[in-house]
Amino acid sequence: MQQLTYADVVVAAERIADHVVHTPLLRNAMLDTLTGGTILLKAEPLQRTGSFKFRGATNAVLQLTPAQKAAGVVTHSSGNHGQALACAAAAAGVAATVHMPSDAPSIKVESTRGWGATIVAFDRATTDREALGRDWAARTGTTLIPPFDHPHVIAGQGSVALELIADAAALGLVMDDLLVCTGGGGLIAGCALAASGASPNTVVHPVEPVGWDDTTRSLAAGERLENAPGGSGLCDALLARMPGELTFSINREILGAGVAVTDADVLAAMAFAFQRLKLVVEPGGAVGLAAVLSGKFDARNKVVGVVLSGGNVDPATFARAVGPTSPA
């Protein structure tokens, strides 16, 4: 496996700078009061395709050879990476095939199709999506660009933290901690590599839904562990079976302790983001905010960065969070 470093993240950030949105750092006085800390929010719902995934997908597509571009790309995704790869591929004139779970949110399916990708549905419960992608690439000659366990994807995602660290510094602030939503671990691996060089005293923590806390449990065990079946599907963007091989090789060395949040915590955070920040944040993108709002991460007297990773949420799920009976 390619050994990634801080330098790889810096090069990736430079490569994609003209293609991605430098999303804003947001502050909220009420949030600081409620948590007792200084909370710095990274608003990736405002990124192209509505999530951070566009960064890694773009970094990977920009490094394809002419022959690879001609053959096309393939991936497996619950939605955000699929949209991102479809968009990045379309911009480069590359055909994309995206394998998506049959129960993926319709907003993510339609967006992916809207960028011109061919969508192939699969059963989330019975299909090994990693094997599905590998087999398809082998049969068709397309290039597999997986959603997290890929060096170019990881390096591109790390640009999230580079921007946040630089914007915090412009305010005279250094983060004590950075909370990053974690599924397969690509975003947090890239962010942790970025922090290791740009803000080495910042501790980077994975935040996961209860029942899908494979990274937290794997860090404690020192080896990759799977999630048990039957967990809630609310945070659809974070439902990886287990940490990636490459991502875990990075994360096991440099991450701080993990945090797990409940569905109620997540829905309350989504409502807060809408009502107080005027942001639409999807469930998986809201887990970091849920951690500080619920007190499951103690932010008192600290400067804490929180990545709001995406905003692609089905209307029914969003209504569940922000409707008359919402928990916020």
DSSP for 155-187 reads HHHTHHHHHHHHHHHHTT---SEEEEE-SSSHH
Q: What is the pLDDT of residues 25-79, one digit of tens each?
A: 999 999 999 999 999 999 999 999 999 999 999 999 999 999 999 999 999 988 8
Strands, E assignment, 7-144: 25-26, 38-43, 73-76, 96-101, 118-122, 143-144
Nearest CA among 55, 76, 61 for reference residue 240: 76
- The percent of residues above 70 in pLDDT, for the chain, comes to 98
Say if 169 falls within a structural domain.
yes
- The model's pLDDT over 292-323, given as tens digits with 9 standing for 90+, comes to 999 999 999 999 999 999 999 999 999 999 98
Task: Determine the pLDDT at residue 302.
Answer: 98
Residue 89 has pLDDT above 90, yes or no: yes
Structural domain includes residue 1: no
pLDDT at 223 over 80: yes
Q: What are phi and psi of 226, to 5 degrees?
A: -85, 160
Q: Are residues 160 and 172 in the same domain?
A: yes
Same domain, 224 and 236: yes
Q: End of a domain among 126, 150, 174?
A: 150
Please give the Cα distance from 231 to 211 (Å, whole number): 5
Annotation marks residue 108 as catalytic = no
CA dist list (Å): 298 to 34, 74, 205, 256: 11, 41, 12, 14
The verdict on residue 120 lying in a domain is yes
**Is pLDDT at 326 greater than 90 in this prediction?**
no
Structural domain of 61: 54-150
Catalytic residue, candidates 51, 77, 199, 309? 309
Residues 310 and 211 in one domain: yes
Length of the chain as a residue count: 328
| Last residue within a domain, chosen from 117, 150, 183 | 150
Distance CA 247, CA 239 (A): 15
Flag whether pLDDT at 127 surpasses 70. yes
Regarding pTM above 0.85, the answer is: yes
Q: Could you confirm whether 294 is annotated as catalytic?
A: no
Per-residue pLDDT, 325: 54
Quote the CA–CA distance of 124 and 66 in Å, as a whole number. Answer: 33
Q: How confident is the model at residue 129 (pLDDT cuts 50, 70, 90)?
A: confident
DSSP string, 195-206: HHHH-TTPEEEE
CATH at residue 143: 3.40.50.1100
Output the CA angle 121-156-313, nearest 5 degrees. 45
Mean pLDDT within 245-274: 97
Please report whether residue 240 resides in a domain. yes
Tell me which of 3 and 275 has the higher pLDDT: 275
My answer on whether 263 and 184 are in the same domain is yes
Q: Is 274 in contact with 322 (CB distance < 8 Å)?
A: yes
Q: How confident is the model at residue 126 (pLDDT cuts 50, 70, 90)?
A: confident
CA distance 25 to 87: 24
46 and 107 assigned to the same domain: no
- Into how many domains does the chain fold? 2
Average pLDDT of the residues in 258-281: 98
Pairing of strands 73-76, 38-43: unpaired
The percent of the chain in helix, strand and coil, each rounded to the nearest 5, is: 50, 15, 35
- Active-site residue, selected from the candidate residues 51, 53, 77, 108: 53
Instruction: Let me know whether 306 and 244 are in one domain.
Output: yes
Q: Answer yes or no: is pLDDT of 117 > 70.
A: yes
Residue with tokens 């080896």: 223
Residue 1 binned pLDDT confidence (cut-offs 50, 70, 90): low
Q: Are residues 196 and 275 in the same domain?
A: yes
Among the three residues 104, 134, 150, which one is the final residue of a domain in this structure? Answer: 150
Same domain, 84 and 146: yes
Q: What is the pLDDT of residue 128?
A: 85
Residue 2 has pLDDT above 80, yes or no: no
| Percent of the residues in the chain that have a pLDDT greater than 90, as a whole number | 88
CA–centroid distance for 282 within its chain: 11
Reduced to 3 states, what is the DSSP secondary structure of residue 86? helix
Residues 63 and 126 in one domain: yes
Partners of 98 in the β-ladder: 75, 119
| Same-domain pairing of 268 and 158 | yes
- For residue 327, tell me if it sits in a domain: no
Let me know whether 291 and 184 are in one domain: yes
Contact present, 115 and 87 (Cβ < 8 Å)? yes
Verify that 81 and 215 share a domain, yes or no: no
Helix (H, G, I), strand (E, B) or coil at 75: strand
- The confidence score (pLDDT) of residue 217 equals 97
Residue 228 token pair: 């048990």
Average pLDDT, the chain: 95
